[in-house]
Amino acid sequence: MTPENFLNIKDDFPILSRLIQGKEFIYLDSAATTQKPNSVIDSITDYYKNYNSNIHRGIYSISIEATEHYENSRTNVSNFIHAKSPNEIVFTRNATESINLVANTWVNKNLQKGDSIILTEMEHHSNLVPWQIIAKKLELNLEFIPINNEGILILDNLDDLFSNNGKFLAITHVSNVLGTINPVKEIIAKAHDFGIVTLVDAAQSVPHMPVDVSSINSDFLVFSGHKMLGPSGIGVLHAKQELLQNMDPFLYGGDMISSVSLHNAQWNDIPWKFEAGTQNIAGSIGLGTAIDYLNHLSMTNIRKHEQNLLSYALKRLNELDGIHIFGPKNPEITGGVVSFSYSDFHPHDIASILDTESIAIRAGHHCAQPLVEKLGVPATTRASFYIYNDKSDIDKLVHGLEKVRSVLS
């Protein structure tokens, strides 16, 4: 499928046919969560209608069927990000839980007082707060790779950062505020030269571009299903097998054990020792179907489509007086995210007026408060694009912003 064929995709998403306040619904908040195609919705409904049962435990037919679908989704995820084995894929609730899992298992066990965790100044709270907590607990240092005025990482002093007791690097692949695509492969290679273990927050990259964990060579990589057409409540932790094998479980209970006595328990093999209790079976099935949908389009085509939308959005937004766009202006190093300020209008007022035009955008600090403060504003307005958006959506956004000026001026 070529990028030109993306124009017909909206028909696959039932919510996009809804009229809000009598107007066509324009959804420009896919960095927060994505809408779901019929195939994903149908796959979840099919599970509950036809083979709803628990997995790994039943010896009856629908339990075996559910287990096969659940594990097939794991294989689907593994292939999608080019992992070496499905055993490297742990299902979680979301990227946030995946990060907390790593913080409370591997980092908690392997770092000690005086060691440093290296982050960047553009992290989502989910890739910041867990490290703040574990740093206080273990008396670790937090160090930060700074950004320049364009929202691009300043990498000149990596050697100094990494050599100062650096033991763990947690870095976003794509900023959810600025859209900056960070050169994680190169940064990870340098980190490994210093013996540093790495984690990539890929919540904004895996849904939008080809991601190959074998090429990136990250030790841990996390993402969420709901940001890539899948249902909410399903996330992924990818980790190298040797790391998973030496990590303690994060949660304890049923299914993550191989044997239990009154006083002791033995853990299951990986990845199941990290999946305690009844899992989000429907969610995993929906995620597997979402990956099928994305593969049909091809991630290369999706990336090209979003680059074209970003280029058009930058052009159209810059036609408006008073627009200031934050972050890189080069679509080659930017995802499908545009954060901006508009004259002295508050982002919440902008979003409220756009809502009257049935246009959904995000206003606020986008769960990246330190970054927005670094930008020198209390909040930004953010439009984010995905496969179901087209240039007409951007034209409607610009028209809506013209209405904002007429109302607030």
Catalytically annotated residues: 367
Give the residue from 326, 330, 344, 343 showing the smallest Cα distance to 383. Answer: 326
Q: How far, in Å, CA of 167 to CA of 117, rounded?
A: 6
Give the residue from 84, 83, 46 showing the smallest Cα distance to 65. Answer: 46
Distances (CA, A) of 182 to 178, 203, 205, 395: 11, 13, 10, 29
CA dihedral 60, 65, 67, 70 (to 10 degrees): -160
Contacting residues for 133 by C-beta, under 8 A, at least 6 apart: 103
Task: Supply the DSSP string of 123-147, one letter for each residue.
Answer: --GGGTHHHHHHHHHHT-EEEEE-B
Q: Are 99 and 219 in contact (CB under 8 A)?
A: no
Give the residue from 269, 364, 295, 293 showing the smallest Cα distance to 39. Answer: 293
Q: How far, in Å, CA of 104 to CA of 352, rounded?
A: 40
- Give rounded-to-5 percent helix, strand, coil for the chain: 45, 20, 35
Q: Are 382 and 362 in contact (CB under 8 A)?
A: yes
